[in-house]
Amino acid sequence: MRNPSPTRSAAHSAGQSAGQSAAPYAEALTAHAREPWLRLNVPGHAADPDAFAELAAFTGEAQLRLDVPPLLDGLDLGPDSPRATALRLAAEAWGARRTWFLTNGASQGNRIAVMALRSLGECLVVQRSVHSSVVDGLVLSGLRAAFVQPAVDRALGIAHGVTASDLARALAANPDAAAACVVTPSYFGAVADVRALADAAHAAGVPLVVDESWGAHFGFHPELPRNALALGADLVISSTHKLGGSLTQSAMLHLGDGPFADRLEPVLERVFQLTQSTSESALLLGSLDLTRRRLATGTDAVGRSLRAAELVRERIRDRGRFAVVSDGFADFPDIVAADPLRIPVDTRAGGIPGHEARWRLMTEHQVLVEVATDSAIVAVVGAGSAPDTARFVAALHALPVTVPPGRGTESLELPVPGEVRMTAREAFFAPSRSVPAEEAVGQVSASTLAAYPPGIPNVLPGEVITAELVSFLQSTARTPGGHVRGASDPEVRNLRTVSRPRC
């Protein structure tokens, strides 16, 4: 069965299948778990809460019974199996030709996408502020990257998106491009003009790949932006566990029904088989099925979440100490909308750095937020969740003033990436050595390093390490709650560089 065209909206298009109210895989898995099986197969706990009492106490007895291996009759096998039906319903819900369930997160989806694109050419035109898993895909595939620089709010250390004109120029400069790859929405909720980006890619004769990890909920309520498939994207990575609400590490990969689908589908399937575990978690797969059903049929619940998020923004504005970052999105030409389930807060405007605010909210108020930069935090409201908005607003305004309020020169500016001297694959596999950070300046990085969260790489394998980069990473590492993902030591005193002469 061919699924709806990507020109249709995802979950609310006319004539959508009434089957969206079912959750075939999750329901079949639950029924299977109720049977009195003598389990002489893996996993080794055999769903025995007595023999594995500690594990049962940790996970719950129901979870032990639901933890079954793949390739079971009645669950996974056959074109009309519960699993196959669940995949078809997911493709229908998001407006895809075909959907794959992933159990290693959207990171796996990014790696699959980039590796599959190697079948179309040798160069990927890619937004520089992509997730580090896209860089992993470059290493695995050997694709050469031609980077498109995003718009950057340097005062807040936020990278947004790219414009269609910038993408078109990059594609024109790289006629051998296999595809274009962009990120939308951003960690801070900035939404790019996917329709214009898709038009630019298609005019250059290449598919548009969208890392829509933070937009799995798009299209499932009239007040939400349309999803990337509905706007012409050819391949979309969806981190369903984020604002969609499935279990952590579960995600989806969606193939649009466009001109590149026939060529991409078979290689995507092969790369999926190459990267997906042969012992994938039934719990994760079942959570994806349930999440699809909830998003496709839960407009009212999503509406309550939207109202809760807007209430938080209104209260922050009314109290006047902090600023709502998305209120300034109109200043950036690459942003056409904001994700209303994201609450980005300029904390320096209220006298406290973002990393410190995140750390204090966690340790002093038991409030967890998703993302921090030196100047801001982002709270997220899951689609369908109902958070205690008053508690968050009260905790935020109870934070002490620890720096002069406002966007002063004390804030850390996002460093400009260094010059590219090698492909990511060449640098990753080249002989390398660990050197003191100050000696690494001017040398080529062998590692991917990202001030985390949010995980956008500040330096890639193959890029030159700059003094500004070293200062930024070390300053982030010294900040309470700060962390540099990929660093060999917590203080970033040493960096791994390619064993070649200085550039």
- pLDDT, position 344: 98
Contact 207, 124 (CB under 8 A): no
Same domain, 115 and 262: yes
Q: Pick from 398, 413, 439: which residue ends a domain?
A: 398
Residues 6+ apart with CB under 8 A from 205: none
Same domain, 251 and 328: no
Q: How many CB atoms lie within 10 A of CB 466?
A: 19
The domain total for the chain is 4
As a whole number of angstroms, the distance between CA 244 and CA 254 comes to 15
- pLDDT, position 409: 47
Same domain, 215 and 122: yes
As a whole number of angstroms, the distance between CA 87 and CA 73 comes to 17
* 98 within domain boundaries: yes
* 344 within domain boundaries: yes
Q: Pick from 262, 297, 332: which residue ends a domain?
A: 297
* 439 within domain boundaries: yes
pTM: predicted TM-score of the whole model, two decimal places:
0.93
- pLDDT, position 1: 28
* 309 within domain boundaries: yes
Same domain, 106 and 255: yes
Same domain, 127 and 259: yes
Same domain, 165 and 253: yes
Same domain, 88 and 116: yes
Same domain, 45 and 148: no
Q: Which residues does residue 148 pair with via DSSP β-bridges, in sequence order?
A: 127
* 250 within domain boundaries: yes
| Strand bridging mode 371-372 / 376-380 | antiparallel
As a whole number of angstroms, the distance between CA 339 and CA 233 comes to 18
Amino acid at 157: G
* 109 within domain boundaries: yes
- pLDDT, position 121: 96
Q: Pick from 70, 90, 112: which residue ends a domain?
A: 70
- pLDDT, position 500: 64
Question: Could you say which residues of the chain have pLDDT below 70?
Answer: 1-18, 407-411, 453-455, 500-503
Same domain, 344 and 226: no
**CATH number reported for the structural domain that contains residue 134 in this entry:** 3.40.640.10
**CATH number reported for the structural domain that contains residue 485 in this entry:** 3.90.100.10
Same domain, 132 and 244: yes
- pLDDT, position 157: 77
For residue 399, the 8-state DSSP code is S
| Residue closest to 291 by CA, chosen among 236, 248, 256 | 248
DSSP labels for 101-137? Answer: EESSHHHHHHHHHHHHHTTT-SEEEEETT--HHHHHH
How many Cα atoms within 13 Å fall on the side-chain side of residue 247? 16
For 352, the domain range is 299-398
Same domain, 258 and 356: no
Helix, strand or coil, per DSSP, at residue 309: helix
Same domain, 84 and 209: yes
Scanning 67-104, the segments in alpha helix (DSSP H) are 82-94
Helix, strand or coil, per DSSP, at residue 402: coil
**CATH number reported for the structural domain that contains residue 363 in this entry:** 3.90.1150.150
Q: How many CB atoms lie within 10 A of CB 348?
A: 27
